[in-house]
Chain A
Amino acid sequence: EDKVVQSPLSLVVHEGDTVTLNCSYEVTNFRSLLWYKQEKKAPTFLFMLTSSGIEKKSGRLSSILDKKELFSILNITATQTGDSAIYLCAVKANAGGTSYGKLTFGQGTILTVHP
């Protein structure tokens, strides 16, 4: 069965700090790894990673994938109170030669940024 594990489960920092969130996975027929941010309700899409070593960046957020060691990290620099949220890592895998998009999620990392 596909498995995704995130660490830490929760993290409390002050504004301006840099944080690193971890995601490790065990899946058969890996296709892609996705990061989502969940503030109150809907998870909102951040990044999709498919290849090792290529860093994805969006402003203060960046993410990288290591397909050999089966993990990804999400970095947030110069954190702001608005970054407080649950960060979810999810993996998409093939099923029988097709990829229909089903995601297996980790339990999430709760990030709290204090002023």
Chain B
Amino acid sequence: DTGVSQNPRHKITKRGQNVTFRCDPISEHNRLYWYRQTLGQGPEFLTYFQNEAQLEKSRLLSDRFSAERPKGSFSTLEIQRTEQGDSAMYLCASSLARQFGEERGSEAFFGQGTRLTVV
């Protein structure tokens, strides 16, 4: 396993279309995160899974966004009825849950991202 894998790397879509992105985390990592990054900004948290359970969704995630992580392995992020404001880099990250109080080894590793352009 060479790291977090995301595909596609680039997606151009017309406004109003639906898109789906895939993330394959590092195999032993049980936590998976989606972030969105726009030009000149740091990544913003969208949602988080521990195994197959989606435990938090950001207020940034409108009803048009949905994420799944069936069987606690890969995850998909779907955007319905895309808008131009959805254009961004969508980053996936994974990490290993540690015992409370232990931080070492819990750092998140990021994939290469999917760059979405809505025209």
List residues of chain A with CB under 8 Å of any chain B CB.
4, 6, 31-32, 34, 36, 41-45, 48, 50, 88, 90, 92, 95, 97-108
Contacts and interface: CB of A to CB of B under 8 A. Distances in A.
Contact of A42 (B42, B100, B104, B113): B113
Contacts, number: 73
A42 B112 contact: yes
A101 B55 contact: no
Nearest to B55: A100
A99 B55 CA distance: 12
Interface of B: 4, 31, 33, 35, 40-45, 48, 50, 55-56, 89, 91, 95, 97, 100, 103-104, 106-113
B100 A101 contact: no
Contact of A43 (B43, B44, B48): B43
A48 B98 CA distance: 14
A101 B113 contact: no
Contact of A34 (B33, B56, B91, B107): B107
A108 B33 CA distance: 19
A27 to B, nearest CB: 13
A100 B48 contact: yes
Given A90-B42, A102-B56, A48 B33 contact: no
Contact of B107 (A42, A45, A107, A108): A45
A106 B42 contact: yes
Contacts of A42: 4, 91, 110-113
Given A45-B109, A103-B108, A98 B100 contact: yes
Nearest to A9: B40
